[in-house]
Structure 1
Amino acid sequence: MRVKTPNLGKVYLNLCPGWCLTHNNAHHDNGRIVIGWCPCSFHVNILSMSSQFIHCEVKPTQGGKGFFCTFVYGFNEISSRGALWDGIREIAKKVEGGWVLMGDFNDLSSVDDRIGSTVRVAEIRPMMDCLNECGLTDVKASGKYFTWTNKQEGTARVFSRIDRVIANSIWLDSFDQAAVTFLPEGDFDHTPVVLRVYEVPLIKRPFKFCMWCYYSSMMDAVKEAWRQPVQGCHMYQVVEKLKRVKGVLRTLKKQGFGEAERDLIQATEEFTMIQDKLHENPGNIECIEQERIVRGKVQRAKKCVQAMLQQQAKLNWLKCGDENTRIFYQAIKARRRQNRIHAIHNEQGESVETHEKVSTAFLEYNKNLFTGKEQQQVVLSTLIERGKSITEEHKRIIMCPVTKEDVRRVMFSIPDDKAPGADGFNSCFYKKCWEIVGD
């Protein structure tokens, strides 16, 4: 908020009575930033300020995670914003914990951040360099992409994305349910910005077959569940047996079977202990044999962890390896944040934000889309004749009986890391258990 000094009294009296407010008017004559907070909800400690930012520490009064927050209002001139980037760099050196910055930076970080006027690389470089050096990225946002307009007519109209909310990785990990909404600007030239941390919905996670194929006990469990007879047609038998397998695997997971990372830690510790004994007694045949056995356990545990992480991260281009574990985790977190939908407009144009209402909006839209009236327009035969059509040979191939070998060939051609079906089983399950489930 930008308020000149003579008007501050009106703000204190009329805007959010009972709130605490502070400003940086001492650093600029025209007044640039005013921030307010409810003292019943937050403790705010002002750490530093300048003519272009106010930096503070925020702590909830009811407990919870505290963080650092910087409110920004950058100058219009490129040369004047140099002090802003230097100030942010200095803060980054001192910050130890979550840090979020928000406001009008009056600058661009991409050539796509403005239309109606040319964007030069030299113009975006100062902000890009600062964000990269400080490890800052945009918080997931929805709503209006361009946050400012000059309100001019015709070809003179310019749209820019100069207002933003950015944070470091610690803040993003601490508040992974946070999302930014850029509202319509109305009569103003800037769009209002709302940063909100949504409540985590308690929902049951669907079954997903992942890294179990590396465990020998999984094969025994699948074999036991699959051999139990089921009455009905072939398709019904397959579906029911898959349900049984799913239940068995879930039971194994509850018993600690699915804790791949824990298994890796325990196997690694055991491996280290045996190697220490072997160094004390290099000729011990028993220790040499134990080292060989435990090495196999460590390798299997690593494969399980990497398979799990790779599937969750959807990084098909990245090969499994110890050096990639951090990349996997970062990609998983970024993917989960990006895939979350906290708010949406339903078919009536209303904005809904709760998990139940968002789910209902998706269901209603797709129900109306796929259960609407059938198309009554007749397709002209002349249009069909212009395109390609199947031949008699194609018909013969299509009508041929499907053999077990055909199913096997298609199944084994699907990569292991492809998304599973609606039942949660991917091609990796069928490949590993083909001798059991193939018939």
Structure 2
Amino acid sequence: MAERSDLWLDLAADIPITPTPWAMVGDFNATLQSHEKKGPGNFSMGSAAESFCNEQWLTIFQDSSQVVLPRIASDHGSILMTAIASQCPLNCPLRFHQFWMDHEEFNNVVASSWFEWIAGPPIVVLTSKLKRLKGVLKTWARSAFPHIERELEDAKTALNQIHDQIAREGMNDYLFASEADVKTGLVKALENHEKIWAKKVRIRWLKVGDRNSKYFHLSVKMRRNKNTIRVLKRPDGTMVEGQNQIGEYIVDFFERFHKEAPIETHADLLDNIPKVLNQMDCYRLDSLPGNEEIRRAVWELDPDSSPGPDGFSGAFFCKCWSLVEVEVCNAVRQFFSTGYMPHGVNNNFLVLIPKVEGANTLDRFRPLCMGNFFCKIISKVMAMRLEPLLLRLISEEQGAFQKGKLIHDNISVASELANLMFSATKVGSIGCINF
């Protein structure tokens, strides 16, 4: 125990005091608690080969990982640690930040770009205006918010200088007003700094409380490092490495997965399905939506959901609804009247989220599609119209599709029925229960 304590004290003493990136790799051979020993078998003071690093290391080398190599002549496995410097992708999409909307010039910047005339069908007009607005907002944000980190540091430095001057000369009206102005700027810089990192980390349960910028920083870096795909295994057992090769393999996999396959139509089966909806119900489903119905769909969608390729979240449409209402509503009505979506409007970002730790095959990743908010509005309008008809379309036996019920409820019902049969009769049998 004493040797273990000395080991950890020595490691803590060797860590640089200044914010210097560092990493340690080795066989520490000392675990503090039994739960730190992973794998089958009883707990013992065996090999604890691990690697450690600090936040500054993850800032520079976001793609850091370790691999335990096979044991050959020893009972210890060698550790191979790789660290690659962060690189910004060449085709990085627009990242619309919600604190932009708090700027006093935001509405004027959007209006000056939005009201410029564009000819064409409503959907083309909407997408063209959003595309043009992206470039305008990028240019404006660089001047209005030059550098969030630097702005925060400058605000802290200015406040320290005011405090030093107050300590030397004493408080007066000028220094009192200067201190108030600098504090206001610091609070605003802290808010912007926290908002941008809170959005990156996407922690929904943390709504109020103390500022958690450092927590957000670590969460973002750890999540990026954990979700980075470094190698994939093909069905034949061969490995795919390298970002370009991995990207080509993923694209080929999902293209083959979603490839259209020939099917046989059985139109005669449709005659056996009872017609539950009447003519009035069909008319309501097919009718063109009004502005108020579209607005209600926009407000019921999650404003903080991940944006699609156009970069605009629901919060932007809610904030600028008075400016974009006409174009959005006309575009939605065009889709309902024609049933046609121009090529590229319904493009999505495909994100692969690992289901388990150490996922290395595509079946162990959960694919998520992030679409443009305009397409989400259309889907929401359809869902709102279909909701009051579901009670007639879903039978009582289809519990998994009924609101407030889960398919796992059927397992509980079957278990209760089995218990009742055993308790009610001395001799009995259980048949097949279908749900």
Whether the 8 Å contact between 2:64 and 2:82 is mirrored in structure 1 is: yes
Matched, 1:165 2:50: yes
Report the RMSD for the aligned CA atoms in angstroms: 4.2
- Structure 2 counterpart SS, 1:408: helix
- Tell me, in whole angstroms, the C-alpha distance in 2 between the residues paired with 1:374 and 1:320: 53
- Tell me, in whole angstroms, the C-alpha distance in 2 between the residues paired with 1:251 and 1:209: 12
- Tell me, in whole angstroms, the C-alpha distance in 2 between the residues paired with 1:220 and 1:266: 28
User: What is the Cα deviation at residue 174 of structure 1?
Assistant: 4.7
Amino-acid identity (%) = 20
Q: Name the amino acid aligned to 2:7.
A: I
- Structure 2 counterpart SS, 1:365: helix
Q: Name the amino acid aligned to 1:85.
A: R
Quick check: which one's strand share is greater? Answer: 1
Matched, 1:359 2:278: no
- Structure 1 counterpart SS, 2:66: strand
Structure 2 unaligned blocks of 5 or more = 17-21, 327-435
Matched, 1:101 2:20: no
In structure 2, the CA distance between the partners of 1:103 and 1:366, relative to structure 1 (3 Å rule), is farther
In structure 2, the CA distance between the partners of 1:346 and 1:232, relative to structure 1 (3 Å rule), is farther
Whether the 8 Å contact between 1:209 and 1:425 is mirrored in structure 2 is: yes
In structure 2, the CA distance between the partners of 1:253 and 1:90, relative to structure 1 (3 Å rule), is same
Whether the 8 Å contact between 2:66 and 2:79 is mirrored in structure 1 is: yes
With the length of structure 1 as denominator, give the TM-score of the two structures. Answer: 0.58
Whether the 8 Å contact between 1:344 and 1:352 is mirrored in structure 2 is: yes
- Structure 2 counterpart SS, 1:228: coil
With the length of structure 2 as denominator, give the TM-score of the two structures. Answer: 0.59
**1:129-183: CA deviation from partner (whole Å, max 9, x where unpaired):** xxxxxxxxxxxxxxxxxxxxxxxxxxxxxxxxx7653313254445322112356
- Structure 2 counterpart SS, 1:352: strand
User: What is the Cα deviation at residue 304 of structure 1?
Assistant: 2.4
Choose which of 95, 114, 121 in structure 2 pairs with 1:233: 121
Matched, 1:223 2:111: yes
Structure 1 unaligned blocks of 5 or more = 1-81, 128-161
Q: Name the amino acid aligned to 2:322.
A: E
- Structure 1 counterpart SS, 2:301: coil
Choose which of 153, 157, 175 in structure 1 pairs with 2:61: 175
User: What is the Cα deviation at residue 379 of structure 1?
Assistant: 11
**1:215-249: CA deviation from partner (whole Å, max 9, x where unpaired):** 12222111111001111111111100001110001
Aligned twin of 1:419: 306
Please list, as runs of the form range in 1=range in 2, the aligned pairs for 1:312-391 lying within 5 A after superposition: 312-319=200-207, 323-346=211-234, 349-374=237-262, 391=277
Q: Name the amino acid aligned to 1:253.
A: A
Whether the 8 Å contact between 1:101 and 1:167 is mirrored in structure 2 is: yes
Q: Name the amino acid aligned to 1:100.
A: M
- Tell me, in whole angstroms, the C-alpha distance in 2 between the residues paired with 1:172 and 1:197: 9
Whether the 8 Å contact between 1:411 and 1:427 is mirrored in structure 2 is: yes
Equivalent residue pairs, number: 312
Matched, 1:280 2:152: no
- Determine which structure has greater relative contact order: mean sequence separation of CA pairs < 8 Å that are 6+ residues apart, divided by chain length: 2
Structure 1 residues 223-232 or 204-213, which shifts more?
204-213
Matched, 1:311 2:199: yes
Whether the 8 Å contact between 1:418 and 1:426 is mirrored in structure 2 is: yes
Whether the 8 Å contact between 1:267 and 1:294 is mirrored in structure 2 is: yes
User: What is the Cα deviation at residue 420 of structure 1?
Assistant: 1.3
Q: Name the amino acid aligned to 2:288.
A: P
Whether the 8 Å contact between 2:51 and 2:66 is mirrored in structure 1 is: no
Please list, as runs of the form range in 1=range in 2, the aligned pairs for 1:265-276 lying within 5 A after superposition: 265-266=153-154
Quick check: which one's helix share is greater? Answer: 2
Please list, as runs of the form range in 1=range in 2, the aligned pairs for 1:173-252 lying within 5 A after superposition: 173-182=59-68, 193-198=79-84, 200-204=86-90, 205-210=92-97, 211-252=99-140
Q: Name the amino acid aligned to 2:193.
A: V
Structure 1 residues 401-410 or 295-304, which shifts more?
295-304
Please list, as runs of the form range in 1=range in 2, the aligned pairs for 1:247-258 lying within 5 A after superposition: 247-255=135-143, 257-258=145-146
